[in-house]
Structure 1
Amino acid sequence: MKLTILGCYAATPRTITNPTAQVLEIKNRMFLIDCGEGTQVQLRKNKIKFSKINHIFISHLHGDHFFGLIGTISTFALLGRTTDLHIYGPKGIKEIITLQLRLSSSWTTYELFYHELESKESEVIFEDAKVIVKTIPLKHRVYTNGFLFQEKPGDRKLDVEAVQRYNIHTAYYQKIKGGGNVTLDDGTVIENEKLSFDPIPALSYAFCSDTVYNEAIIPLIKDVDVLYHEATFLESEAALALKTLHSTAIEAAKIALKANAKQLVLGHYSTRYEGIERFKEEAETIFPNVLLGNDGVSFEFE
């Protein structure tokens, strides 16, 4: 599982920082999460192929999370894209994008499918044979969702020595990989655990930006492998975080600790601060495994 941070700063883009956008590569799928202004430039800088992105998830309709969407959609068309593109986001996103395409006579060369979200409860919004995506209702100034990406468990691994020892025919191999037992010709049942190894553990990733400190999300992200949680402010601005419905680095760490996350990635920093190291320092007073998200940084998780 690979996470590439294209942008992770709050509010306006600057020459040295970019607003929220990131790419998650999981089970050979590539998902774009949020699409702040300048996202397509960051995609190019990070050498991410546009053609591999078929699903875009927008957390909420604040500009620093979706103002780059119309440009990205238009560039896909200019590059001759023909593959369908699915967009998941709050109700109203179809109206916004369609209006811009219509008034600029910039209709796409490919099909756009909008999956507009309204529910305030967690729901499955994408699922295929290998990955499932659920919403994480967040608490912000407008309707906002985070997203939980989960790998589905893979097949069990065949114990070659064991199947040969029991003289099991190859016709049973797929059944064994699927978790089934095998009955020999004499009626003896060989339990699956004796014929296979556990599959590689499935990984999970939770994206939570923007939100005030909200313990209601903890059951939804319990035991997550990687949690990206906004940390707009340091603790000295805790009152401002509460007023604007954002979080501090310490609050992000508290969520990670209570959710039993394995790894915390911080982001969505306010640009009022000269550097971001203090975010990590403050978070580590609560939770030990902290990574600093930053523009152009990639993390790989196993």
Structure 2
Amino acid sequence: MFGVTILGNNSAIPTLDRHPTAQIVTCNDQLLLIDCGEGTQLQFAKYGIRRSKLRYIFISHLHGDHYFGLIGLLNTLSLMGRTEPLSIFAPPELEQIIQIQLDCAGTILKFELTFVPLMPEYSGVILEDKDLEVRCFPTQHRISCFGFSVLLQKRKRKLLPDQAKAYEIPAAYYGKLQEGADYVRKDGSIVKNDWVTMSPGKGKRYVYCADTLYDENLLPYLKDADLMYHETTYLHELADRAAERFHSTTVQAATLAATAHVKRLLIGHFSSKYKELDQFLEESRPVFPNTDIAAEGTTFIV
């Protein structure tokens, strides 16, 4: 399974029914957490997210609504007896922030915590694990901020058993065929890999655009994504305010989605000034019809 579960979709100040930004990305048997706003661990419990499956945490930037829930989550994982390592990908200052909190409380986590620093303006691969690849890219915000591209793709080629048998390739060699190797027969002739296997096919990609101005420089990172999340802090009548605060509007997010030819758009990071969210769709869908609200508790399949 490859899906995105929304745990929080609000910006800055939480409301009684909307929480700061947090998302769980399910990649087969692994869970990735993208951002960890205040109260995220309570959302884990509310929506039945299995903490034990959490492997990686990605923090886009160090505004509080994107990481104030992290120390509580880490402490709970330790109290619950977690021993499996956990990796956090984040701006480098976060490591010191977390360590100070742990030191002040005299807390020693029961699991290994690894920090991978995200350096300003860096873009590229930050994680490869089995069929999973994660890249980061800079967005345009008041402080250093990153988006994330999550690609899930089978790396092993698909074996064609009948063809392999026809070329008298022993079954013990099938694993190497799936890894892309050719086969050398006893007479020295070579059986090309693509004679007996097929490409695993195109993978699926989810792109998370964290807090950002409207920025067409993001288009190469968004292009042809199967699912894209983009912040829409404000309705478009407040485009000037959005620009002043390094945020985006409904129409701007939808315009990027249409220009980048993504298949589906999720919008979130709503200002607390808005009580109802239907108007966000009313503005977005005329520009990009396949737009949905990143509703809390909803899982979107990539």
Residue 75 of structure 1 aligns to a residue in which SS?
Answer: helix
The residue number in structure 1 matching 2:278 is: 277
The residue number in structure 1 matching 2:289 is: 288
Instruction: Please tell me whether the aligned partners of residues 149 and 206 of structure 2 are also in contact (alpha carbons under 8 angstroms).
Output: yes
Report the TM-score when normalising by structure 2: 0.92
Q: Note closer, same or farther for the CA distance 1:17–1:185 as it changes in structure 2 (3 Å cut).
A: same
* Structure 2 letter corresponding to 1:213: Y
The residue number in structure 2 matching 1:110 is: 111
Instruction: Please tell me whether the aligned partners of residues 38 and 68 of structure 2 are also in contact (alpha carbons under 8 angstroms).
Output: yes
Structure 2 residue ranges without an equivalent (≥5): none
The residue number in structure 2 matching 1:68 is: 69
* Structure 2 letter corresponding to 1:38: G
Q: Show CA shifts across 1:88-142 (max 9, x none).
A: 1112111211111111222212222222222312132222232222211011111
**Counterparts of residues 258-277 of structure 1 (less than 5 Å):** 258-277=259-278
Report the TM-score when normalising by structure 1: 0.92
Once the two structures are TM-superposed, the CA of residue 145 in structure 1 deviates from its matched residue by 0.7
Q: Note closer, same or farther for the CA distance 1:106–1:183 as it changes in structure 2 (3 Å cut).
A: closer
The residue number in structure 2 matching 1:49 is: 50
**Counterparts of residues 38-187 of structure 1 (less than 5 Å):** 38-182=39-183
Which is further off, 116-125 or 56-65? Answer: 116-125
Q: Note closer, same or farther for the CA distance 1:113–1:189 as it changes in structure 2 (3 Å cut).
A: closer
Q: Distance in 1 between matches of 2:86 and 2:182?
A: 41
The residue number in structure 1 matching 2:258 is: 257
* Structure 2 letter corresponding to 1:245: F
Instruction: Please tell me whether the aligned partners of residues 31 and 57 of structure 1 are also in contact (alpha carbons under 8 angstroms).
Output: yes
* Structure 2 letter corresponding to 1:62: H
Residue 135 of structure 1 aligns to a residue in which SS?
Answer: strand
Residue 288 of structure 1 aligns to a residue in which SS?
Answer: coil
Identity %: 39
Instruction: Please tell me whether the aligned partners of residues 231 and 248 of structure 1 are also in contact (alpha carbons under 8 angstroms).
Output: yes
Residue 103 of structure 1 aligns to a residue in which SS?
Answer: helix
Q: Note closer, same or farther for the CA distance 1:231–1:191 as it changes in structure 2 (3 Å cut).
A: same
Structure 1 residue ranges without an equivalent (≥5): none
Residue 270 of structure 1 aligns to a residue in which SS?
Answer: coil
Once the two structures are TM-superposed, the CA of residue 186 in structure 1 deviates from its matched residue by 6.3
Once the two structures are TM-superposed, the CA of residue 207 in structure 1 deviates from its matched residue by 0.8
Q: Note closer, same or farther for the CA distance 1:89–1:159 as it changes in structure 2 (3 Å cut).
A: same
* Structure 2 letter corresponding to 1:217: L
Which is further off, 47-56 or 35-44? Answer: 47-56
Q: Show CA shifts across 1:188-243 (max 9, x none).
A: 65544442333143111111111111111211232222111111111111111111
The residue number in structure 1 matching 2:227 is: 226
Instruction: Please tell me whether the aligned partners of residues 11 and 19 of structure 1 are also in contact (alpha carbons under 8 angstroms).
Output: yes
Q: Distance in 1 between matches of 2:251 and 2:81?
A: 46
Q: Distance in 2 between matches of 1:245 and 1:78?
A: 38
Q: Distance in 2 between matches of 1:74 and 1:21?
A: 17
Instruction: Please tell me whether the aligned partners of residues 154 and 202 of structure 1 are also in contact (alpha carbons under 8 angstroms).
Output: no
Which is further off, 109-118 or 131-140? Answer: 109-118
* Structure 2 letter corresponding to 1:289: N
RMSD of aligned alpha carbons:
2.0
Which is further off, 183-192 or 100-109? Answer: 183-192
Q: Show CA shifts across 1:12-42 (max 9, x none).
A: 1121111100100114221111000000000
